Amino acid sequence: MWPGNWLLKRLLKSMPTDIPYQGAASDSKVHVRWLPTQGQAHTVLGVIVLALLAGIIVPFYAEVMDYKLARLAALPAFLLFGFLLLFNRMALLTLIIVFRSVGDVVLESTRFSIGGYTTGLGGVINLCVILLACMLVMERPQQLPKKMTLAWLPFLLAALFGVVISPEKGDAIRTYLTLLSYFAMFVSAFYFVRSAQDFRYCVRLVLWSSVLPAMYALVDVALHGASGGAEGFRLQSTFTHPNIFAFYLTLVIPLILFTLKDKAMPLSGTMRVIVTLYFFYLLALLVLTQTRSAWIACLFVFVGYALLFERRYLLYLMLLPAVALLVPEIRDRLLDLGSGTEAVGYAKLNSFAWRLSIWESGLQWMRPSHYLSGYGVEAFRHFSQTFFPAANKMNWGAHNVYVQWFFDAGVIGLCAYLFLYARMVLALKALFKADRLASFITIAIVIVYLVVSSSDNMFGYLVFNWYLSLIHI
Each residue's pLDDT tens digit, 382-397: 999 999 988 888 889 9
Residues 57 and 161 in one domain: no
* Residue 393 CB neighbours (<10 A): 5
CA 76 to CA 281: how far, in whole Å? 35
Q: Residue 90: its pLDDT value, please?
A: 86
Q: How far is CA 111 from CA 4, 118, 121, 122, 464, in A?
A: 30, 7, 7, 8, 21
* pLDDT given for residue 121 in this prediction: 65
Domain-located, residue 306: yes
State percent of the chain over pLDDT 70: 73
Local confidence band at 349 (pLDDT 50, 70, 90 cut-offs): low
Q: Is 99 within a domain?
A: no
Instruction: State the pLDDT at residue 51.
Output: 53
> Of 67, 86, 120, which residue sits at a domain end?
67
- Domain boundary residue among 26, 46, 67? 67
> For 217-251, what is each residue's pLDDT tens digit?
999 988 877 665 445 788 999 898 899 999 999 99
Residues 189 and 289 in one domain: yes
For residue 28, tell me if it sits in a domain: no
* Virtual torsion, Cα 383, 385, 390, 393, nearest 10 deg: 150
User: How confident is residue 86, by pLDDT bands cut at 50, 70 and 90?
Assistant: confident
Domain co-membership, 173 together with 61: no
Does residue 462 lie in a domain region? yes
Residue 434 belongs to some domain of the structure: yes
Structural domain count, the chain: 2
**pLDDT value at 21 more than 50:** no
- Domain membership flag for residue 126: no
pLDDT bucket at 27, cuts 50 / 70 / 90: very low
Using alpha carbons, select from 121, 128, 89 the residue that is nearest to residue 3.
Answer: 89
Least confident of 31-40, 77-86, 201-210, 291-300: 31-40
Same domain, 61 and 176: no
User: Is position 461 within any domain?
Assistant: yes
Residue 165 reports pLDDT greater than 90: yes
Whether residues 257 and 401 fall in one domain? yes
Does residue 338 carry a pLDDT above 60? no
Query: What is the average pLDDT across 84-91?
Result: 81
Structural domain harbouring 51: 36-67
Whether residues 361 and 467 share a domain: the answer is: yes
* pLDDT given at position 362: 94
Contact 451, 296 (CB under 8 A): yes
Report yes or no on 428 lying in a domain: yes
Q: State the average pLDDT for the chain.
A: 80
401-453 per-position pLDDT tens digit: 999 999 999 999 999 999 999 999 998 888 888 889 999 999 999 999 999 99
User: 20 has which bridge partners?
Assistant: 31
Using the predicted structure, report yes or no on whether residue 10 has a pLDDT greater than 90: no
Same structural domain, 60 and 162: no
Which of the residue ranges 43-47, 157-161, 176-180, 407-411 would you say has the lowest mean pLDDT?
Answer: 43-47
pTM: 0.80
How many other β-carbons are positioned within 10 Å of the β-carbon of residue 293? Answer: 21
